[in-house]
Amino acid sequence: MKGFLIVGFFFMGIITQLSGQNKVSSAAFSDKINSYLDFSIPVVSVKEAHQLKDVVFLDAREIDEYEVSHLPGAKYIGYKNLNDAVLKQVPKDKRIVVYCSIGYRSEKIGEKLKKKGYTRVYNLYGSIFEWANEGYALEDKSGQPTKRVHVYNKQWSKWMTNKNYEKVY
């Protein structure tokens, strides 16, 4: 009986540690994001963004990342080589949410959009990693639903924590 109680307490300790690690991971992810952002562009949470109507989502990652998966209906604008053609059909007062992997590149693109005269530009806080972590739908380059996320590289992959999604490098 004594051995059974010791084993029970051991497993309870592991469960407690694991549940605490999930909270720490979420806080650590926020800390990581906050360390990269200047908050020069207003942020919107994935929960808020998911509920928005009449919005243009712009993907500020590289084309290979976008083709693996992106937010449904998102348009590719890129980062290194800005795809200005995508902006031709977007009115200057249209609500725009820009995203990348965690929010750094999208913030920089958001700053460029503001300089071009766009007035309602937002940065998706936590970007596609947080979108996937929350379990929201993604689509591939053909517009088909996918559970794959380009995680940039191995170092950044740890921030994409939803086990229901496949990490692609």
Question: How sure is the predictor about 90, in pLDDT bands with cuts at 50, 70 and 90?
Answer: very high
Q: Is the pLDDT of residue 16 over 50?
A: no
pTM of the model: 0.85
Rounded Cα gap, residues 132 and 163, in angstroms: 10
Which residue among 56, 87, 100, 102 is the active-site one? 100
Please tell me the class of the 39-168 domain: alpha beta
Between strands 138-139 and 96-99, the pairing is: unpaired
Size of the chain, expressed as the number of residues it contains: 169
Render pLDDT for 96-112 as a digit per residue (tens, 0 to 9): 999 999 999 999 999 99
Q: Is the pLDDT of residue 94 over 80?
A: yes
Tell me the two tokens of residue 95.
């609500």
Q: Is the pLDDT of residue 29 over 70?
A: yes
How much is the pLDDT for 19? 39
Question: How sure is the predictor about 7, in pLDDT bands with cuts at 50, 70 and 90?
Answer: very low
Question: How sure is the predictor about 95, in pLDDT bands with cuts at 50, 70 and 90?
Answer: very high
Which amino acid, residue 95? R
Question: How sure is the predictor about 25, in pLDDT bands with cuts at 50, 70 and 90?
Answer: confident
**Span between the terminal Cα atoms of the chain, in Å:** 49
Rounded Cα gap, residues 23 and 62, in angstroms: 30
Q: Is the pLDDT of residue 13 over 70?
A: no
How much is the pLDDT for 57? 98
Identify the CA nearest to 70 among candidates 40, 37, 98, 48. 98
Q: Give the 3-state DSSP-derived string for the chain, with helices as H, strands as E and coil as C.
A: CHHHHHHHHHHHHHHHHHHHHHHHHHHHHHHHHHHHCCCCCCEECHHHHHHCCCCEEEECCCHHHHHHCECCCCEECCCCCCCHHHHHHCCCCCCEEEECCCCHHHHHHHHHHHHCCCCCEEEECCHHHHHHHCCCCEECCCCCEECEEECCCHHHHCCCCCCCCEEEC
Q: Please state, as a whole number, how many other Cβ atoms lie within 10 Å of the Cβ of residue 58.
A: 26
How much is the pLDDT for 24? 38
Look up 100 and say whether it is catalytic: yes
Average pLDDT, the chain: 89
21 vs 159 pLDDT, higher one: 159
Render pLDDT for 36-47 as a digit per residue (tens, 0 to 9): 999 999 999 999
How much is the pLDDT for 143? 97
